[in-house]
Chains A and B, each alone.
Chain A
Amino acid sequence: MSIHSSTLAELAAGLRKKAYSSVELAKLYLDRIESSQSGLNAFISITREEALAAAAEADRRLAAGEGGPLTGVPIAHKDIFCTDGVRTTCGSRMLENFVSPYDATVVSKLKAAGTVMVGKTNMDEFAMGSSNESSYFGPVRNPWNTALVPGGSSGGSAAAVAARLVPAATATDTGGSIRQPAALCGVTGLKPTYGRVSRYGMVAFASSLDQGGVIAATAEDAALMLGAMAGFDPNDSTSVDRPVPDYTATLNDSVKGLRIGLLKEFFDKGLDPSCEARIREALGVYEKLGAQLREVSLPSLPLSVPTYYVVAPAEASSNLARYDGVRFGYRCENPKDLMDLYCRTRGEGFGAEVKRRIMTGTYVLSAGYYDAYYLKAQKVRQLINRDFERAFAEVDVLIGPTTPTPAFPIGAKIDDPVTMYLNDIYTIGANLAGLPGVSIPCGFVQGLPVGLQIVGPHFGEARVLNVAHVYQRETDWHRHVPDAFK
């Protein structure tokens, strides 16, 4: 078996056994990243020099018998996380030359854990998109078929892990941006509970929904990464002060008697029948392991996409007001006055989808429309939240599809925002209610991976990862790698 097809856990073990050094691993993955770049475009920045220095330091610690379980493993960060001294573009022209003066908490925690950053992954501009086509740095391509999208907004992280350009990468999820690309690329993507992972230094999109997480090959790898990323941070006012369990300790817990809820609203007419067949097969695996399946209904859930497309743009329009061409970021040429500076900087610095969301948000918050749109959406958000609360009184986890279809062609939906938004129909609910969710590969439809989504109650990451892991013990879908990257 080639080294690059190893999981993060296997690489960590290999480093301790001195099967290879951290520097050797970093070089191996950097070479893979560089040679794939023209085909996949999964990275915005490749940080060879910094990576080799960090890997040499990790090798010194390993030789001295120091370090933790992640010391020396190469990872990538989504280019939404600030990285001290390395540019952080958020996929936008606005931040094309922005060099972060500090590390995001996620980045500093993973650095302290000894991981080696090899680069920053491509993404939809300001994390606004479901196809990675809105990046200023060009679309990412799906490693399973480069004519198709990898999903978004964490499309670079998902494609990079799927092609084994890195064993794991950080990602963020505001409406499905970890789980949807993980599903479309056939990898494991974990969105933690809102407040579990610090948002400090993670470029803000919609602050009541944004949550950092991870994309990796397996649930075990996601558990290792989450353990290093999670925890209270005084620099994030919505960070939750609650102990971080050892997520790897409960991975093998039995699922006998586990109550699995099937959301009636997820098995609707919009779900591709071939994808549904893969999901039903996966449910059969859980039944064989002794879990109980029962149908549950969340009647308000069909309103989650329209709710999101009021709340998220409203928060985005406010968050993105900071890009004014004065303190950092892009500035237009020869502004004639301050208003011209603001308007042209923002008109030229933001791409089409970002401008669309800023304008949508501005409209729904404007005088006379606030109650009809924003307040109404916040109330429907509460209804959806209550639906989930009721469901989790009856079941331990909810399982269903991550997306209605497998990956679609680049260009197919880019001109029709509402159709694009409906890609996230099964993922947005968890964001509105702040719940943890994971997507794992559960088979293929015409050569394209299908994702199974497992959603748990607040702070149920350990359970969600446990449910994902027992499935991955029974199946090998997570071991499949596209031919071109074997």
Chain B
Amino acid sequence: MALTREQIESIAHLARLQLQESEIPVYQQSLSSILDFVSQLDRAETQGVEPMAHPLPGLAQRLRPDVVTERDAHERYQANAPQVEAGLYLVPKVIE
């Protein structure tokens, strides 16, 4: 299976990745070879097989009481943010 340049551009857009021009043919080639490789899965007979999402069957999602368990530490967390003002994360203007 050979992915086209347009397909790579579309996947990159869905993944929110800007690729350099020189990266596109590299990913065209390597993603195509990965998809060829994983196409071996077609050989497996899986009719009626329950898909496995998790290695420990029977493990149910736990619930906890809906109470506050953490103290406000936003200043500490926001110390890692690229741009913060008055406790708010700044991004480029979204609405004109």
Contacts and interface: CB of A to CB of B under 8 A. Distances in A.
Interface of A: 97-99, 101, 194-195, 208-209, 234, 237-238, 240, 300, 303, 305-307, 309-310, 317, 321, 324-331, 335-344, 346-348, 350, 352, 355-356, 358-360, 362-364, 366, 373, 375-383, 385, 417-418, 421, 431-435, 458
Interface of A: prevailing SS = helix
A375 B49 CA distance: 10
Contacts of B62: 234, 237
A338 B39 CA distance: 36
B91 A338 contact: yes
B76 interface: yes
Contacts of A362: 11, 14-15
B21 to A, nearest CB: 12
Nearest to A359: B11
Contacts, number: 174
B49 A331 contact: no
Which among B77, B80, B83 has the greatest number of chain A C-beta atoms within 10 A?
B80
Interface string B47-91: 001111111100101101000000001001111111100000101
A419 B40 CA distance: 15
A355 B14 CA distance: 12
B82 A325 contact: yes
Contacts of B35: 360, 363
A373 B51 CA distance: 12
Contacts of A385: 52, 55
A360 B34 contact: yes
Interface of B: prevailing SS = loop
Given A101-B76, A338-B91, A379-B44, A328 B56 contact: no
A392 B55 CA distance: 15
Interface residues of B, number: 54
Contact of A306 (B23, B41, B80): B41
A194 B58 CA distance: 13
Contact of B56 (A98, A195, A338, A379): A195
Contacts of A194: 55-56
B84 to A, nearest CB: 9
Interface in B2-37: 8, 11-20, 23, 26-27, 30-31, 33-35, 37
A360 B15 CA distance: 10
20 contacts: A98-B80, A194-B55, A209-B55, A240-B59, A307-B41, A317-B15, A327-B77, A343-B13, A347-B19, A350-B17, A352-B26, A358-B15, A359-B15, A360-B34, A366-B11, A366-B14, A373-B38, A381-B51, A431-B55, A433-B55
Contacts of A337: 92-94
Given A306-B40, A417-B34, A358 B17 contact: yes
A279 B81 CA distance: 50
